[in-house]
Structures are given as C-alpha cells and as structure tokens.
Amino acid sequence: MAPVKDVVSVIEKVKTQKGVKLEHAVIDGANHFFDGKVDELMVSVDEYLNMRLGTTEEAA
C-alpha cells in the first residue's frame, strides 16, 4: 500500500498526459485485502462503473 499523498501525486502527474482520465477513491481504514471494507469497495466500484459505462436504466 502507498500513502495517499504519494498516490495523489502520481495521479496528478498522469492526468496531465493527453487523453488520460483517472479517478480514485480512498476507503478509510482499508488494508491491501479490504478486510471489513469489501462492501464499501463494492459501492465505490459500482459508482465508478455507473459513471463510466452508464447504468442499465440509462442504456435502456
């Protein structure tokens, strides 16, 4: 795992590259395996996928 400040630094550098779109979220208290945080992880992933791919309701 990397400290949040280091991750944000890398994301900001990569964002400046043409055509690159990055999103990130921090799940407080999560470890490498997301022990006890899987539900929060799934919510975050669902939100991201809905944003990027659209919900099934929007696709209909």
Instruction: Give the pLDDT confidence of 34-57 residue by residue, as tens digits.
Output: 999 999 999 999 999 999 898 766
DSSP line for 13-39: HHHTSTT--------TT--TT-TTTHH
pTM score of the predicted model: 0.67
Q: Is the pLDDT higher at 28 or at 55?
A: 28
Characterise 19 by phi-psi region: left (phi > 0), alpha (psi -120 to 50), beta (else).
left
- How much is the average pLDDT of 24-32? 90
pLDDT tier at 2, thresholds 50, 70, 90? confident
Rounded percentage of the chain residues whose pLDDT exceeds 70 = 90
Which tokens belong to 1? 């795992």
